[in-house]
Structure 1
Amino acid sequence: MELYSTLEYILTLQKPTEKVTAFQTFYGRYLSGDVSRKITTDPVIFEAPSYAGYLNYCDQKEAPKRSKLGAARGQILLLHSIAHIEYSAIDLALDAAYRFRGLGDEYIHDWLKVADDEVRHFVMIDALLHEMGSFYGEHMIHDALFVASKQTQTLLERMAVVPRYLEANGLDATPLILEKLAFLRKDPMVTKIIEALQIILDEEVDHVRRGDRWFHYACERENVSPDVFFDIIERHYPQSFPRKTAVNCDARKSAGFECHELKKISLVNC
């Protein structure tokens, strides 16, 4: 089994069940040392998300809005949204390992480990959806995370946008969702959702930390200041900073953000 050709194959699989199974088989062989690394072709720039021929998707602005979490429909829409984030994150992690080459074993290990976590997260959320009588793909999904990957074809931009911006935003958003769900804990289903989201939140800190490490590596390699992060985000997501709301300072600091960065990200002091 060859690393890059196998990653490309997994990345192009349309059905979630097939992608999950293929990755788990591959990752088991990778951990046992049964994967070679022979770069024979350049990485492909994917023109459409892997789910394009299987799931209905739209622009992020047209995606279904979440309804009240006290109702089953609201909980299903929340889970469906999270399932899509986690499923997209599988491709994002695999693409990071596939696309940026010559960075050594630690780099590949980092992003395959992240992909393994994202697979586990997706399977966990998908199981909750089924428990509620739903499934991933029942509702319209958006392609915003795929667009982010397509628009960041250098290591520096990818690490800035995906782990340090998009995933770090999740560190801010998830505690707010958990806060709302806490009032509904008497519902056994809500308790399961809370437990799943807490697992995801805890493990996403590590994902952002790994991305932060490779972002700083890319900065050193290109001889630029880490403050280029703000220029990159302004280019891709204009007027994102500073925010008028608080961010999850503890989680962001654990993931590698510096205090001076947090002061630029949010007007609320940490």
Structure 2
Amino acid sequence: MYYYKTLEDILTTKLPQEKFTKFELFYTNFLNNSLVYENKYTPISLVEPSYSGLVKIVLPKEVKIRKYFDTIEGKASLLHTICHIEYSAVDLALDAALRFQDLPKEYYEDWLEVASDEIRHFAMCEKILNGLGYKYGDIEVHTNLFEAMKKSDTLLKRMGIVPRYLEANGLDQNPKIMKKLQSNPDKINNTILEALKIILDEEITHVSKGDKWFKYACALENRDPNESYLDLLEEFYPGSTTKKTQMNFEARKQAGFSCEELKRLSNSNSCS
């Protein structure tokens, strides 16, 4: 089994279960050191996400947001959103392990482990979603994460924008959702809450991996990580560095953010 060719096939596979089954075999071979690594491999240029045709894709502003978790529709909407984030995160991790080559083996170990975690997260949430009579693909989605993946075409950009910005934002949003679920306690919401607790804990580790490899990429280019990160945010999301943002400081510090950096990003004078 070849490393890059097989990984590219998994990345472009649409159906979740088929994708995940292929990955399980691939990952087993990776952990057993039984893969063949091609000397030269040029990954395809992705023009559409792997889930294209599987779900209805709309503009972000057209995605219906149901904020109330005391109805079946609200619960299903939340779970479908999480499933889509996790499915997208699987592809992001796979692409990171495919797109950027000639790096230390630890890099590939990290991102394939992340892909394995994201698959498990998807499966947890999909099971609850199925119990409500819904399946992945029943609700419209947007392609924001895929677009970020396409645009971040260097290691420094990918690590800075995807895990260190987009996934780190999830560390801030997850507790807010958990609080809403706690204010609407029932059996299903409690089950969702337990899944979110697992996801939050493991996403801290994912952001930490992104932090490590972002700083590695900065060192390769002899760039200051703090200034490079701010430059990236302004390049990809103009104005984002001047917005006042409520952040999960504790989770972000665990993931590698410094207090000085968090104070600048949140426009806060304290780091607690």
TM-score range, shorter chain: over 0.9
Q: Answer with 175-184 or 240-249: which moved more.
A: 240-249
- Distance across 1 between alignment mates of 2:211 and 2:135: 33
Task: Measure, in 2, the Cα distance between the counterparts of 1:127 and 1:149.
Answer: 27
- Give the equivalent residue in structure 2 for 1:203: 202
What is the distance in 2 between the residues matched to 1:122 and 1:39?
33
Q: Name the SS for the 2:126 alignment partner.
A: helix
Count residues in correspondence: 269
Task: Determine if the alignment matches structure 1 residue 45 to structure 2 residue 45.
Answer: yes
Alpha-carbon separation, structure 1, partners of 2:84 and 2:240: 23
Question: Deviation at 1:18?
Answer: 0.9
The answer on whether the counterparts of 1:246 and 1:267 sit within 8 Å (CA) in structure 2 is no
2:142 is aligned with what amino acid? H
Aligned AA (2:202): E
Unaligned runs of 5+ in 2: none
Residue 93 of structure 2 aligns with an amino acid whose one-letter code is: A
1:85-111 deviation per Cα after TM superposition (whole angstroms, max 9, x unaligned): 000000000000000000021010000
The CA distance in 1 between the partners of 2:222 and 2:67, in whole Å, is 47
Residue 136 in 1 paired to residue 136 in 2?
A: yes
Where does residue 192 of structure 1 map in the other structure? 191
Aligned counterparts of 1:150 and 1:58: Cα–Cα separation in 2: 18
Q: Deviations for 1:162-189, whole angstroms, at most 9, x for unmatched residues?
A: 000000000000000111111222x111
TM-score by length of 1: 0.97
Separation in 1 of the partners of 2:120 and 2:41? 30
The aligned counterpart of 1:54 is 54
Deviation at 1:67, TM superposition (A): 3.2
Q: Name the structure 2 match of 1:105.
A: 105
> Which residue of structure 2 aligns with residue 11 of structure 1?
11
Distance between the aligned counterparts of 1:181 and 1:67, measured in 2? 11
Q: Partner of 1:267 in structure 2?
A: 267
Q: How do 1:171-190 residues align onto structure 2 when only pairs under 5 Å count?
A: 171-185=171-185, 187-190=186-189
**Residue 19 (structure 2) pairs with residue 34 (structure 1):** no
What secondary structure, in the 3-state scheme, does the structure 2 residue paired with 1:223 have?
Answer: coil
Contact 2:2 2:38 in 1 (8 A): yes
Distance 2:190 2:54 in 1: 31
In the alignment, structure 1 segments of 5+ residues that lack a partner are: none
**2:29 match: secondary structure:** helix
The reply on whether 1:244 has 2:250 as its aligned counterpart is no
TM-score normalised to structure 2 length: 0.96
User: Identity, % of aligned pairs?
Assistant: 48
Query: For residues 111 and 245 of structure 2, what CA distance do their matches in structure 1 show?
Result: 30
**In structure 2, what is the Cα distance between the partners aligned to 1:105 and 1:188?**
43
Which residue matches 1:90?
Answer: 90
CA contact (8 A) 2:60 2:144 kept: yes
Deviation sequence 1:10-31 (CA, Å, 0-9, x none): 0111111111111112111211
Q: Which residue of 1 aligns with 2:221?
A: 222
2:164 counterpart residue number:
164
Q: Which amino acid aligns with 1:205?
A: I
1:240 Cα shift? 1.4
Alpha-carbon distance in 1 for matches of 2:2, 2:249: 41
RMSD: 1.1
**Which deviates the most, 254-263 or 25-34?**
25-34
Distance in 1 (CA, whole Å) between partners of 2:192 and 2:136 is 15
Using the TM superposition, name which of 210-219 and 42-51 deviates more.
42-51
Q: 1:35 deviation in Å?
A: 1.2
In 1, distance between residues paired with 2:196 and 2:243?
A: 24
